[in-house]
Structure formats: C-alpha cells, structure tokens
Structure 1
Amino acid sequence: MPNANKRIIFLIDMQSFYASVEKVANPELRNQPIVVAGDPERRSGVILAACPIAKTYGVVTAEALWQAQQKCRQLVVVRPRMEMYIRISTQITQIFEAFTDKVEPYSIDEQFLDVTGSVHLFGDPIQMAKQIRCRVWLETGINCRVGIAENKVLAKMACDNFAKKREEGIFWLKREELSDTLWKLPIEKMFGVGSRMKRHFHRMGIYRIGQLADLRPAVLIRHWGVNGEVLWRTAHGLDDSPVSLNVYDTQKGIGHHMTLPRDYHTAAEIKVVLLELCEEVCRRARSKERMGSVLSVGCRGADLAAGTGFGRQMKLAEQTNDVMTLYEAACRLFDRHWQETPVRSIGVSLEQLVPDNVVQLNLFTDNHKSRLLAHAMDDIRARYGPDAILRAASLLSAGQAKERARKIGGHYK
C-alpha cells in the first residue's frame, strides 16, 4: 500500500491512439499493419500513428510516409480524422472523471490523474489502474497503459519506459527503488532529454540516468542554469507540480505555424500566408480576450540539411490583437531577415499577453472602429465557418485559408 503522505499520480497513455481508433471504426483493418498519415501530395505525408503490427516492421511515428512504405509494402495508409479523435479523447476523459475529479490532459492521447483521494475506493493503485484499463477497453476498444508514481514526472517516465513494455500495461515507479529501475536506463530515456541534450551528456561521459543523479546540482547549474537543476531533480524523481484542471487557462503566447504545400520562392506569395497566419493568431487572441506586445516570426528553409531560415522577435509599439498592425510588423521582420531562399514552413506568434479590456487611446487612428470590424468578422466565421469570409489575398494561388478551413490542427477533420 502507498505511503499515506505521498500523492498517487497516474499518467495514462492510449496505445497508438489514432491507429487504434481507426481499427475500432474499421474492424476489417484489425489484423493489418496500418498507419495514420497526412496527405503526401501536400507535403504532410508524415506518420502520425502506427499500429503495433506496423511497428514490428520498423515503422515509427514522425518518419516520412515513403520511408514507412519501403519498410512494409502491405502498409495500409489512413488519412487522419481529427474530429473523431477529439471526440474519443473527450469520452476517455469522462471515463477517468468517474475515478477522480483531478484529471489533466497532457496531450490528445495522454492524461494525468491524481487519485490520492479516491484510490481507497478501488483497492490499491494497481487494482485501480486495472479497472480503468478495463473500462476504457470495454467502452472504446482502445488499449491504454498506466504509469504510477508519487508525482507527474515519475509517472510519465514509468509509463514511457516500463508500462509500455509490459503485457499488463501497468508499472509503479517508486522513488526508493530508482537505483534498480530508472537509474539503469540510458540518459535519453529521461524526461526532458532530447537528441541534442543526449550528445551534451555523452561528451561529459554521462550515458545512464544514474550517472546524472550522482552529479552535484552545481555542476549542472553551471552548464544549463536553472534548467540544470530541473534535470537533476528529474533524475531524482522530484516534482512538486500539481495535477491541474486549468493548466491551459493562462497562456503565455498564441502562435500558428504552417507547413506549405510547396516551396514558396517569392516575398509576395510568402506574405499571403503571413497575412493568413496573423489573421488566425489575432482571431484566437480576441477569442481569449487577450492582446500581446511581442511578435515572433519564424521561417524554415526548403533545404533542411543547410538549415536555412530564421526565427526573430520584436517588441511592438503597443499591445495589440489587430491583424493589420501585426501583419505590418511581421512584414518588417520578414523583410529584414529573409535571405531570399525558398521557404518550406512559416509561423507567427504573439506573446506577453495581457487582457484586452484596457486599451491605449490613439489620437491618430480609430482603433475602436477596427476592433468592431474584427469582432464582426469573428462572429461570421464562428457562425458559418472559418472560410465564410476571407481576405482577397487568400484567393490567390499562394493562399491556404480555404484549405486550412477543412482541417483541425493541420489535419483533415
């Protein structure tokens, strides 16, 4: 039984979520290797999810579709249906809420649960995890895995490194047993360590999580500042963050990024997309009653190997959620830093958000009229769809607004 003074946190992950949903919806696919992938003709042919059968051929998430098809010739490719995935994810959240009122979505297929106050109603943590897995399977047909620990970071590592590799799909990672479990794993298995950080650690002679845990915090702080202490705490399984129901209520920034269907070569066609991105960012800012004072623009070049592109930000003269104000500033950033190389993707974000109910008056421009017009356009789009009213530039061949209106999160509904 758990220590009465410790929290009991679950991280529950849906196995191959998109692919699993598709197999439930199409039983004839149950025994076939399937992947959910974007449209290769629009350069979004990337594997979003691969079922366990496809993974036995070496197919992995995030690789190019053509690479996966070379590994498995009989691969079945299914285009994503995001509305259905969101609906099933919401259904799963409601199942979790029958076990605890503290549920925090981490992604569309992962959620944290704090079951400290309710675990006694279902036996011990292992028995509770079994009941949750059973109910999710019976109601959705999806297999889930459960990492159990005393905090969120340990629960995440319990799920990723242990529960996913066990037939029962459950693992309880205890801090007092880290030397026999987590510390034996390669350093890249630790939460927060990506490929670049892995290379840094290897240059320092650190190959296992246990070696990192043996270091003094000061050594890591000297290399990475505050993040060095975070890495040390993660290695020791220390995390005080709560499972929060309103974790996304206080956004620090609002951004939108787009991978283009082809390489864009001219400033004119790139600025069409730049305007559409500013439109979407400002619409979302207004919907949250926020405006921002820092603009970021990022471009990635078509030549990934050469690493062309840029990412820059600027402080605006005043807080805004006005499209043309943001667009004019974005064009200045773009003109200043673009090296006239082909562009593969582009993004815009608005940061340092504040409530939009207090506005600096301007003697020379009628901001009130432009705000009324923007909200009127928002109302039309909310009622009749995102492409019900468009700027004329979006009707040009470079425009992507009409195509994006058919999608959720960059994928078809």
Structure 2
Amino acid sequence: MDRVIFLVDMQTFYASCEKADHPEFRNKPLIVAGDPKQRSGIVLAACPLAKSYGVSTAEPLGQALAKCPQAVICRPRMQHYIDVSIQITRILEQFTDLVEPYSIDEQFIDMTGSMHFYTSPHAAAREIQQTILNQAGIYARVGIGPNKVLAKMACDHFGKKNETGIFELNHDNLEHCLWPLPVGELFGVGHRMERHLIGMGLRKIGHLARYPLSLLRRRWGVNGELLWMTAHGIDSSPVSCGTFSGQKAVGHHMTLPYDYPDIKDIRVILLELSEEVAYRARSKNYMGCVVSVGISGSFDRHTGFHRQTRLPFATRFGMDIYRAANRLFTENWDRLPVRAASVTLSELQPADNCQLDLFGRLDEKERLSAAVDTIYRKYGRTAIFRGPSLLPSSQLRARASKIGGHYK
C-alpha cells in the first residue's frame, strides 16, 4: 500500500505571523525586512498583497518600497517565529505521530496510519488547513504524495498556485503534471545543474525522465541516478521524527555591517565566531576534529573561499578552533575586503567518548570552559568575553540580542 505523505507549508510565514498578531494589517500589504543600516535591509517575507505589487523575497527593501510605497514594514521577530513553528508542529502531532520539520515553515507528516479517519487525503488536508488557521491564524498549503519528494513538488508547483492550496501528485498524474515542467523545477536541481542538463538537450523534467539512466550514472554517478529517480517520483526516505536529533556539524555565519578590509578586524570576527561555535558544541556535548572557514567578498566582486583542515585531536574549545580558522584564513585570503565569514566544527563525536590529547591541557580547558559557560547561562553572552571584542570591529554585543542575525 502506498504511503500518504503531506508537505505542509505556511504561506509567507513571517508575514503571516505578523498579520495574525496585528489584525489591523490584515488588508494591507506587509513586508518583513531587516535594518538597511546594518546591511540586513532585505525582504525576508512579503504577504500575497505585497507580492501583487511585484515585491519579491530577498530583494532590497528600498527596491520593494519603490514598488509598494504604502506597505507596512515589520522588523523580524525570529524567536516569535520559532515559537509559532513549534506550535504548528504540536498541531500537526494531533493528526499523526510522524512529524518531520523540514524548515521553519515546512513540515512533512506521514498520514498513512490516520487515513481511516478521513474519506480522502484531500479531506484530511482541508481539516489540517482549518485547524492551523483557527489555532495559529496562518494559512497553510498542503502537497500530497506517496513519498516525500512528490509531496514537496506537489506543494511547491501546484498547491501554492491553486485556490484550495491543496494538490496531490502521484504516479498516475506524474507524467501529465510534472514532466512538462522545466527541468530546473525538479527538486534537487540547482542553477548549475540546470545549465548542464539544458546543454544536454534536457529542457523539461520529462526529457530527463526518459534519458537513459546508464548515461546519467556514467556522467554524475549516484547524483545522476538520484535525479533520474526524482523525475520518476521514486523516493524511499521515511518521515522521521529524529531527523535533527543527530548533528553532523556546529557552525556560525556572520554578515558584517560593512566590508572589513583590515586583517586585524577580520581576526576579531573569526575569534568571536570560533568562541560561539565552541559554546554551541559544549552545549550539545560534542567535540569535533575538522575546522572549516568560509569567507565572502564584496557583493560586486563575488570573491571568497571555503577551506577546511583536520586537527590532530578533537576539541570543543574556542582558541583551538580559532587557531585553525586563523591559519586557514591567513593562507587563503586574497587581501580583498570581507563582507561575511563563517566558522564550522565538523566530524563531531560525543565529548565523553573521544581520543584524548595528552599535551592539550584538557582538564584546564574543561574547568575554564565550564566556568565561562556558567556565567553565560546566568548573565548572558556579553557578561564575559575576550579582550579583542572591545575593539570597534567587534560584533559580539550587537548580535547578542539577535537570532540568525535578526532581532528576537
């Protein structure tokens, strides 16, 4: 028996949260955007009414206001959006115990075991829509399929574009509905892969589906076979409640308020990123032995790099991570201004079951870190910090009140 999988997507989630909290904005165009002075003046969400004026996600706020000057502008409240997302997860758990968050505004649910309560998958989807609207004030779209990949494409390409907000994509209508779409619309095909496929004459999803699997496998290996399977609607991955229970990496990214041209200033940022990554690793009781650094240059130059190095020991201490990150940066920086940086610790392992570094002063680092973490939890992240964070280039205090670079 085929499974019944739903992909439940919240329409313009951030904007919908604001309208749910402010009924006076219900019939007004609304945009959620950051602060242009802090280089975050980008449209994060626009309600359908604002989009009817041509406003689109990820465009500069000034450009959006030129199209829709009467729009209501709301500063993002990330913690509130996270809380609402968790609330919606709890609502979905009323319908099935198999709920898998896919993003802050999308969740997979496996309704197979609950279908005997409903006359059809569409009836179940309508009840889910109405329950979320009643309890959270947000309109949801639902894609239905026998697996996750078809449910996702059903929602993205059809459910979001019809009046009911519901669409079912299965193997009976796959060839009629999905195959005529441009190949770039296939789940898992990015811009670069789209160019490659079009260069091979595969302009539509149906062209890819009919292409010999052996030739795709020969050119791209497992990835080529995965694309062919997706075009045929084949996906055996289950809806898993524990998708995010195991972590593969701990990282932190920061877009700077202005381009940093001085290496001393950039090193302050790398130190703060390293300390943040170390704190998160300790909070989750992980250690890691691979440190990665990503650097992005000015918007108009599109420069930068991403490099990684393996440490001879696993660590979860800020200075260990910083030394590796600084070495990677110093060896690879092109001396052009930096607008964004990231530091990641990967190849994680439980901290209570790892290879010891005999000469790394592990006990001393553990005691110091435990004391610092206690201060963080009691008094906040700005109660104690390293000296370089007193410099003007520091972003520690500016970001202490934010989540994901946006105010809570």
The TM-score, its normalising length taken from structure 2, stands at: 0.97
Paired residue for 2:241, among 233, 245, 260?
Answer: 245
CA drift at 1:198: 1.6
CA drift at 1:397: 0.8
Relative to 1, partners in 2 of residues 1:365 and 1:126: Cα closer, same or farther, differing over 3 Å? closer
CA distance in 1, matches of 2:367, 2:217: 50
CA-based RMSD of the aligned residues comes to 1.3
Letter in 2 for 1:30: R
Paired residue for 1:338, among 308, 333, 336?
Answer: 333
CA distance in 1, matches of 2:53, 2:181: 25
Partner of 2:107, secondary structure, is strand
What is the total number of aligned residue pairs between the two structures? 408
Partner of 1:318, secondary structure, is strand
Is 2:139 the counterpart of 1:150? no
Q: Deviations over 1:163-201 (max 9, x none)?
A: 001111100111122111111111121111122222111
Instruction: State the match for 2:383 in structure 1.
Output: 388
Relative to 1, partners in 2 of residues 1:135 and 1:361: Cα closer, same or farther, differing over 3 Å? closer
CA distance in 1, matches of 2:178, 2:219: 23
Instruction: State the match for 2:393 in structure 1.
Output: 398
Instruction: State the match for 2:105 in structure 1.
Output: 109
Partner of 2:54, secondary structure, is coil
CA drift at 1:120: 1.0
Instruction: State the match for 1:140 in structure 2.
Output: 136
Partner of 2:113, secondary structure, is coil
Letter in 2 for 1:341: L
Paired residue for 2:367, among 352, 363, 372?
Answer: 372
1:190-229 maps to which residues of 2 (within 5 A)? 190-229=186-225
CA drift at 1:361: 4.0
Is 2:52 the counterpart of 1:56? yes
Instruction: State the match for 1:257 in structure 2.
Output: 253
CA drift at 1:296: 0.7
Instruction: State the match for 1:175 in structure 2.
Output: 171
Relative to 1, partners in 2 of residues 1:242 and 1:361: Cα closer, same or farther, differing over 3 Å? closer
- Bigger Cα displacement from structure 2, 48-57 vs 359-368: 359-368
Q: Deviations over 1:195-214 (max 9, x none)?
A: 22221111111111111100
Partner of 2:203, secondary structure, is coil
CA distance in 2, matches of 1:193, 1:387: 42
Q: Structure 2: state its 5+ residue gaps.
A: none
Partner of 2:173, secondary structure, is helix
Instruction: State the match for 1:34 in structure 2.
Output: 30
CA drift at 1:34: 1.2
Letter in 2 for 1:189: E
Letter in 2 for 1:211: H
CA distance in 1, matches of 2:204, 2:291: 40
CA drift at 1:123: 2.7
Relative to 1, partners in 2 of residues 1:32 and 1:155: Cα closer, same or farther, differing over 3 Å? same
CA drift at 1:386: 2.2
Residue identity over aligned pairs, in percent, reads 54
Q: Deviations over 1:355-379 (max 9, x none)?
A: 1113444444421111121122122
1:320-335 maps to which residues of 2 (within 5 A)? 320-335=315-330
The TM-score, its normalising length taken from structure 1, stands at: 0.96
Q: Structure 1: state its 5+ residue gaps.
A: none
Paired residue for 1:354, among 335, 341, 349?
Answer: 349
CA distance in 2, matches of 1:75, 1:349: 38
Q: Deviations over 1:201-231 (max 9, x none)?
A: 1111111111110012222222222111111
Is 2:14 the counterpart of 1:18? yes
Q: Check conservation: 2:109, 2:239, Cα contact below 8 A.
A: yes
